[in-house]
Amino acid sequence: MPYYILEHDIDPGDKYVSWEADGNLERAMEGKPFPKTYYQGEFDTDFISGHYGISAKAKDFFLSLNIPHLEFIPVTVYHTKWEESMEIYLMKINKEIDCVDYEQSDLFMLSDKKIRRVRKLVVKKDSINEDIFTIHNLLHSVTVSEVLKNKITEYGLKGFRFVPTDKYPMY
């Protein structure tokens, strides 16, 4: 079965938290205090932040799947230009799978074993039995099965880009 890494897909005018502010949201996911965080845009979308910030509609969709290793952390973000706030939900995935075929992949890692760059990513599909998970040592790697990708698409969630794991470059 194919697997896909989720990426944030922003259309012009969509509401989104910029990558510079994503560090604030990462602190929120860790349960730490974080500074006031801002978003831009005016059109509704469902994937609002590259650090797993999603809309209430997307949260409800994922909750309906009854996946036990997902948590949702509510966070309020504020518009950069006007006094408007919006609640988003940080999706925390508590399932990490060590599924990288290090011999077949072309990766750059430092001594901490975290993957810093991907030229070619090969996953061992036989070691995966989840529909949504993170890849061990690959930062910000929400990975979904083809079954879940199709459900997300059929439900009409916006702002999600699905990159096949074998086509995933990270620099």
Tens digit of each residue's pLDDT (9 = 90 or more) over 115-131? 888 889 999 999 999 99
Cα(40)–Cα(13) distance, rounded to whole angstroms?
8
Residue range 86-95: average pLDDT? 95
Range of the domain at 7: 3-167
Residue range 136-165: average pLDDT? 94
Q: State the virtual CA torsion across 101, 107, 111, 112 in degrees, nearest 10.
A: -70
pTM for the full predicted model: 0.90
Model pLDDT, residue 170: 63
Question: At which residue do the structure tokens 């059929």 appear?
Answer: 154
What are the pLDDT digits (tens) for 15-42?
Answer: 999 988 888 888 898 889 999 999 999 9
Residue type, 149: K
Residue type, 136: H
